[in-house]
Structure 1
Amino acid sequence: MPGALPEGEPSPTTGELPAEATATLGERPFGVYVHVPFCSVRCGYCDFNTYTLAELGDGRVPGASTATFADAALAELDLAARVLGPDAPTVDTVFVGGGTPTLLAWQDLVRVLDGIGTRWGLSPGAEVTTEANPDSVTLESLQGLRAGGFTRVSLGMQSAVPHVLRTLDRTHDPENVVRAVVAARDSGLDVSLDLIYGTPGESLADWRTSLDAAVALRPDHVSAYALVVEEGTKLAAQVRRGDVPAPEDDDEAAKYELADELLTAAGFGWYEVSSWARGPQFRCRHNVGYWGGGDWWGVGPGAHSHVGGVRWWNVKHPVAYADRLAAGASPAAAREILTTEQRHDEEVLLGVRLVDGLPVDRLDRAGRTAVAGLVAEGLVDGRVALAQRRVRLTRQGRLLADTVVRRLLGVG
């Protein structure tokens, strides 16, 4: 089941933000995230805020329907426009995630995108992405999305090996990935593929098979994530019972190194620890906005937002979300106003994950002192640290990114 929301202070029912938060709008990239919480089945490893249609009464409960989701999202966009006011910037990026956004009719996804454009406008060349399962799209739906303003599709490939997909409870046939990529290309969309490594029972040869299959499809972007066993999931219960083995750090490290080796050889460059792109123009600009401390409004049940150092998150259940909006209230469950220390810690945490690295002068004294030791241990690129005064991780450093961050923050 979905994980719990974080704790925070009460959020105003109007959604109002402190004046100091909105005063700097436009100084940073501004994006919109739309969370579509519906899935056809729940994958055993997933603790995202998602619900199957059967869990929601097959759409018979008001507010818990794929047919009415777009209306609720548009109502939240109305609230967002009131909160941010007439001086809000145009939108640089839109990312529709989930869940499986493409369980909605493509016309509804376009209607939500049109709603974003009507309220704020889209910047020239705006990046507009939707996630999709390979078996949830057709040539017609992808053509409709492209004609409606979407520029990019991120397909949940996960693996090309049937037994790995079964362990993950993924329902698609690997051939569906091929068909979806071809259809996306024919529609004029940029293509990203998401992969997962470290699944119980996945050998290094299995992982190589998935990487080779992904590279052969010539996507513009690849994300590869280590499997994490989240509490409360089916997979966690299986591991606890001993039905399947827990992922092993050494195995996942070997698979990360193989991914970096093969993707680099195929012409992809890493730009974030888990992300590779065929060129800078194909980096996921929406995610770069997150990592760079940008502003975004998160629409949908459980969606998180950040504007000017204020972070808030919506109630999780689709019915509660729709009910609040129908009553004219903000769907926010709670919020936090980040302290200077928290903002610094996040800047370090996220900045060092990027290929551009983190300027050394953004570190405090303890962090600057730690850099030399990290260079000596081969975790930070010494040439970049010396010549550019930036902290950039080596491949080994990427494997131990959390350790590097703790050292730079003086807590490890």
Structure 2
Amino acid sequence: MTATRGTFPVERDPACPLDPAPGYRELPERVSSVSCPIGVDAWVLTKHEDIRAALADRRLSSRGAPSNHVVAGADPNEPVAPGVLLRLDGAEHSRLRKLLIPEFTVRRVEALRPAIARLVDEHIDAMLASTEPVDLYRDFALPVPSLVICELLGVPYADRDSFEKQSALLVGVDGDPEAFAGAAMQVQQFMAQLVLSKMESPTDDLLGRLIQRGAEAGANLTVEELVSLGITLLVAGHETTANMIALSTLTLLRRPEQLASLRSDPDLAPGAAEELLRYLSIVHFGLFRYATEDVEIGEETIRAGEWLVAALSAGNREESVFPDSDTLDLTRNARSHLAFGHGVHQCLGQQLARVELQEVFTRLYSRIPGLRLAVPFEEIKFKHDALVYGVRSLPVAWD
């Protein structure tokens, strides 16, 4: 790798917290060499076509974990534990992903839509029955996807508060290493007990079916694999969607003309979900990859043994792909966005996230037409130090 030209862009501009870190646009075009917070040098890709090419290239391994380049104390070279889907490559990754794919097909997820719609309505009812202001993040955005993923996995919802607190620690960037280790241990112990109970008494839920599917394929999943898969699905299944719901609502409240168009035409909801996924890019630090062979990208050669970061938020704001990219346009065809990644590691739960967002967009703003911020925008606290971007709370009221 050539001498570094700068440091990896981490901070979003406090004056423009809904936009990607401005540092991406200060980097040389296409492929840049930077120093990452974790202490390694990496190439950074900011062009949409380069990012897609890199994420589709199986010579670029995900073994370092999606965003470990910004996690304090992380070791990107530590051995990959069994079942850690986000860090596995090749045959092991394919084996586990194939067992999971039947749970997230369009048909299966669409069958969940009525139940998701009921959950959304129930939580809107609860908000309307509450005393204003209400924290839309804590009282609506977080519990809806948490309930959905708990139901899918067969996790007792009574345990929600515990795993939500631990999950928040697990997706932090610069937290206390001891707190992180403690949270990881608690989540692993919880999931291990759940997996063991389901292995002893089969259940008709995702984990139960995964156990059965592995047995039928003649490749029984180990407890360790099931625990890792369960934790990944549990954390990713609610953290990302919860933050998207809250951050999308904040964004729309800041753009009343876009919100009005969505409220008046619910058919805009599917396109609105794609555009907001593009515009907000909540996996805001990008995806970390390791070159197992020399790879040509743009005008650079990423050598075997070098690291690379695919800057999703930069690619999602590329003018040549999304004209007037810094403008939120709910009528835009944004399906080529990179919010769910690309290639063999593209988000398995993307269809579930789409349905959850669509049902929220269809119901929340029409049922509470006078929804508004209960505090000045400048008082909203953002998760600058988390792998999944969002707000820490979203106080709202309504007219």
What TM-score does the superposition give when structure 1 sets the normalisation length? Answer: 0.21
Structure with greater strand percent = 1
Structure with greater helix percent = 2
**Structure with the larger RCO, 1 or 2 (CA within 8 Å, 6+ apart):** 2
